[in-house]
Amino acid sequence: MSKFPFPQAGSAGSAGSASGPASGAAAVRVGGPVGRTLGSGQVRLVGGLLGRWQRRNADATLPHALAELTRAGNLANFRRLTADNPGRYRGRYPFLDTDVYKTLEGLVSELARGAAGPEAEAFWAESVALIEAAQAPDGYLGTYFQGRDAAKSPWSDLAWGHELYNLGHLIQAAVAAARQLGDGRLLAVARRFADLAVERYGPAGEPLYCGHPEVEMALVELYRETGEPAYLTQARLFVARRGAGRLTHGIFPPSYFQDEVPLRDLPSVTGHAVRMVYLAAGATDLVLEGEAEAPVPLAQLERLWDDMVAAKLYLTGGLGSRHADEAIGDRHELPAERAYAETCAAIGTMQWGWRLFLATGRADVLDVVERVLFNAFAVGTSVDGRAFFYDNPLQRRPDHEQRSGAESGGEPLRRAWFGCPCCPPNIVRWVAQFQDHLAVASASTLTLALYADAELRSAPLDVTARTDYPWEGRVTVTVDRAAEGDRTLALRVPGWARGATAHLNGERVGTGAEPGWLRLTREWAAGDTVVLELPQRVRAVRAHPHNDAARGTLAVLRGPLVYCVEQQDAGAPVDDLLLTAADLPGVREERDETTWGQPVVTLATELAVAPEAAPEPYPEAAPEPAPATAPATTNGTTNGTTNATTSGTTSEAADDEAASDARERVPVRLVPYFLWGNREPGAMRVWLRQF
């Protein structure tokens, strides 16, 4: 018997259509070797942290976004085209239509699960009518370029105009509405615009492409929804053509647009961070639709991903080291206080990672997706769901002056909205789609990729997962219904969960057979229960030795969560605190139910203080004693022994560590990074000094 309380989906993987609701539809309706993504009619978040975030999305963030879009003029930009005498376009950027589309994409999911209120329904009705009315007779839609007073004519500036980026977000909202509400009106608009794009830039058209990738992912999804192969072909063309250097811009170099080298030959992720990961996600979608015809082989996409994870991603999963050009940095260029790590880049990284998991089944890719989700992405939204970070640094200095966001001025912490408001609407849609990124199923296997308190149904198994993850590491999976015959339940064992154990109906089962996965195959019966214990060890990590900005520091993690120290929780300036590995056993886990109005695990300890003593900024270094051991090998080890100098701990550090016994120690509380900046503005550090 299933406890699932809302509409039955078709069998896993059944195709929906624009003419009727397809309540089982996921945002990405696709499968790979591991199975097909389970969608909103098949997965329901019940509680826990992700469930709370999703409720906050419907109750606070979505209504807030609707009000801001109305206030800022995004909706008025469509309305003005329906008037006899259109007024001026409001806003600075040519992509402000997308903030309506992204919000609609999220709104549709919230409406479909009955979580959104009447103001969401009213916004939906009004905006669909305006979008329909604003579309030009030839199918064109881009309010910046339409109307008598338009600054530029359509298709005159592919590098910066974002017209196909606009189309991409329109398509994604339209597909969501067709699948989840059975409302095909937006899909009809999107198809007319997509057909125009195919006519202009298809196999027989100009061999051009958009300055901001996004439409590639969307066209693949439009193909999945409609079955029209021209959309798939167009997506392939856009990915394959990029790198030809056709995007000319007075300010940004070709690498900003990933237009210097074709993606199939790109040695490392580069350029504008959001553009990079959206492009890679689209290219991975094309692999999922048939690698033989995909412009970029899966091996190249995996190589780019692995290289990004190894050398370009922040500990939090944030991507983008430079404010200049919102760009990815060089290898190991990861300054904590200058981290750009845009919230949209976190979303794009998860979109790419999810598709890469579908294509490869790699559990370590999901570890990264999870890291991004609980850190670089989650930090972008305030506890009340009505304020946002655009950039997500890992350090704030006490005298910090630059305000949050792409523009100068404004709030010292999260802002209610931005002149370039790409992040908040992206948050709305991503949170609304959490359930589409938790599990996949094939005829034989249900795979739980990420953990949440949720109910899941699939062809092989219906299960209920109960957990307080990530605060606790116990996940209890109970089978509610099983198909006849042997079926597999696959559970991800995160790489950080050393010592994970599992019990099936009280009997211990092994977890070590396959790195990253626990697979249990049997004839299941309702009531069978698997209890997975993922030890949420408090652990410290240091940065790669080439990450100069973080050398000589440690960061603290617990499970998938990165922790930080905010000034209000430290008995001395955060820049003067010293943390060594020897401090870890003294760290106490505490549950705080009040500070943020929700249960949170914080970490209490006492740390040594090294107040800034030397008045000189660059005091002369004392001569180093000659090394007693053989020179280090390139990986920083000598005969398997970590070499102190190359691993980031100098002899000076060792002296300091020894001396730290004598130092004053002060109480310190570490809090999850995603919660920082919800109290009064102050200094914050993820990486704490070792010496």
Which of Zn ion, ligand FUB, none does residue 43 bind (CB under 5 to 8 Å by kind)? none
User: What does the per-residue mask of binding to Zn ion show for 378-417, with x meaning CB under 5 A?
Assistant: ----------------------------------------
Buried (b) or exposed (e) across 168-184, using 16+ Cβ within 10 A?
bbbbbbbbbbbbbbbbb
Q: Find, among 661, 683, 645, the residue nearest to 580 by Cα.
A: 661
Which tokens hold the place of 159?
């590098």
Out of 4, 78, 89, 95, point to the residue binding ligand FUB (CB under 6 A).
95
Residues 488-507 that bind ligand FUB (CB under 6 A): none
Which of Zn ion, ligand FUB, none does residue 95 bind (CB under 5 to 8 Å by kind)? ligand FUB
User: What does the per-residue mask of binding to Zn ion show for 304-343, with x meaning CB under 5 A?
Assistant: --------------------------------------x-
- Least distance in Å: CB of 423 to Zn ion? 4
Residues 261-300 that bind ligand FUB (CB under 6 A): 274
Which of ligand FUB, Zn ion, none does residue 326 bind (CB under 5 to 8 Å by kind)? ligand FUB
Cβ-based nearer residue to ligand FUB, 274 or 549? 274
Indicate the Cα dihedral angle 639, 644, 646, 651, nearest 10°. Answer: -150
- Least distance in Å: CB of 544 to Zn ion? 27
Report the amino acid identity of residue 40: S
Out of 43, 279, 344, 561, point to the residue binding ligand FUB (CB under 6 A).
344
Contact 406, 390 (CB under 8 A): yes
Question: Could you tell me the CA-to-CA distances from 355 to 55, 103, 275, 363, 451 in Å, in that order?
Answer: 26, 22, 16, 12, 18
Instruction: Report helix, strand or coil for 251.
Output: coil
Give the span between the Cα atoms of 269 and 278, in whole angstroms: 11
Contact 210, 238 (CB under 8 A): yes
Out of 218, 344, 448, 491, point to the residue binding Zn ion (CB under 5 A).
344
Q: How many helices (H) and strands (E) does the chain have?
A: 15, 25
Cβ-based nearer residue to ligand FUB, 223 or 257? 257
- Least distance in Å: CB of 406 to ligand FUB? 7
Which of Zn ion, ligand FUB, none does residue 420 bind (CB under 5 to 8 Å by kind)? ligand FUB
Told to check if 420 binds ligand FUB by CB under 6 A, we report: yes
Report the amino acid identity of residue 283: A
Q: Find, among 421, 419, 392, the residue nearest to 404 by Cα.
A: 392
Told to check if 422 binds ligand FUB by CB under 6 A, we report: yes
Give the span between the Cα atoms of 198 and 662, in whole angstroms: 71
- Least distance in Å: CB of 273 to ligand FUB? 7
Q: Find, among 241, 236, 235, the residue nearest to 206 by Cα.
A: 241
Out of 239, 376, 423, 587, point to the residue binding Zn ion (CB under 5 A).
423
Q: How many residues bind ligand FUB (CB under 6 A)?
A: 8
DSSP letter string, 161-227: --HHHHHHHHHHHHHHHHHHH---HHHHHHHHHHHHHHHHHSTTS-----SS--HHHHHHHHHHHH-
Which of ligand FUB, Zn ion, none does residue 340 bind (CB under 5 to 8 Å by kind)? none
- Least distance in Å: CB of 57 to Zn ion? 17
Contact 2, 42 (CB under 8 A): no
Out of 36, 80, 169, 212, point to the residue binding ligand FUB (CB under 6 A).
212
Which tokens hold the place of 544?
């790669």
Q: How many residues bind Zn ion (CB under 5 A)?
A: 4
- Least distance in Å: CB of 416 to Zn ion? 15
Give the span between the Cα atoms of 426 and 348, in whole angstroms: 10
Told to check if 283 binds Zn ion by CB under 5 A, we report: no
- Least distance in Å: CB of 340 to ligand FUB? 9
Report the interface residues with Zn ion, using CB under 5 A: 342, 344, 422-423
Report the interface residues with ligand FUB, using CB under 6 A: 95, 212, 274, 326, 342, 344, 420, 422
